[in-house]
Amino acid sequence: MSARVAELVDAGDLKSPSAPGGVPVQVRPRALLLRFFKFIWAFCLLLAFSANSGEIYFQKAKDGTYVFTNIPDSSGWLRWRSRSSKKHYQRKVILQLICKVARQTGLDPLLLRAVVEVESAYDPGAVSPAGAMGLMQIMPSTAVKLGLDDPFHPYKNLYYGARYLRQLIDRYQVLTVALAAYHAGEYNVQKNGGVPDILTTQMYIKKILKKYESFKIMKRQHKRGFCGG
């Protein structure tokens, strides 16, 4: 028997309920207990479907929510891996992958390392509040566009993210603008004719450049890069 799981998460559900005027509403213990059992039931249901089908897939709906299913009926679904199923990748292994991907995409490995450190702190299972995934923090819509079917696979995430960044650098010819497009999207860059007036994006660029410069200094001091260059 086929079954589909839809998990719609609303940020408002995480806030304390309140009556008009901002006065907190007292939640009865029975209501809290009911919510708890509903959560346990939904969690067990999701595990059951995952065990039966072997894989869980997801995609972003038009209203901004994420829909999960064990039976993808069309293209555009991404494979989901629960956090507990991910292998532990040590930083040393991630750095080796960064060197490999940098050679494949023509990026400076020091720049790619700076992006990974700022984006995910070398955590292949990182997920941002906005839904960005993996080492290069790729958004679900971008993953679909790039053809990335497994956002939490360290090598695939690195390769597709680095290739996308390489394309942006080649397109805009200015690193700061390319980083802005990677962070805020190409639409915002085109609309503003360059780095958009978005504080988080501007801070992101500063962090990347600071890390990039620090890695360059380390390379000069040690006369050898972490990729052996």
Locate the domains of the chain by residue range. 11-80, 91-221
Q: What is the pLDDT of residue 222?
A: 80
> How far is Cα 223 from Cα 229, in angstroms, rounded to an integer?
9
Q: Which of 81, 102, 225 is nearest to 158 (CA)?
A: 102
Given the residues 7, 119, 186, 213, the one annotated as active site: 119
Q: What is the pLDDT of residue 37?
A: 56
| DSSP strands (E only) in the chain | 18-19, 23-24, 56-60, 66-69, 78-80
Q: How far is CA 216 from CA 111, 122, 164, in A?
A: 9, 19, 23
Counting every residue written for the chain, the total comes to 229
Tokens found for residue 169: 């650098």
Each residue's pLDDT expressed in tens, for the chain with a length of 229 residues: 333 333 333 333 333 333 334 434 344 556 556 555 555 554 554 554 444 445 666 777 777 666 667 677 766 777 665 444 444 557 888 999 999 999 999 999 999 999 999 999 999 889 998 899 999 999 999 999 999 999 999 999 999 999 999 999 999 999 999 999 999 999 999 999 999 999 999 999 999 999 999 999 988 888 766 786 5
Q: How far is CA 111 from CA 17, 44, 214, in A?
A: 45, 43, 10
Residue found by looking up tokens 């679909």 in the block: 144
Q: What is the pLDDT of residue 62?
A: 72
Q: Domain 91-221 falls in which CATH fold? A: Lysozyme (1.10.530)
| Sheet with strand 78-80: strands edge to edge | 66-69, 56-60, 78-80
Asked about 55 being catalytic, the answer comes back as no
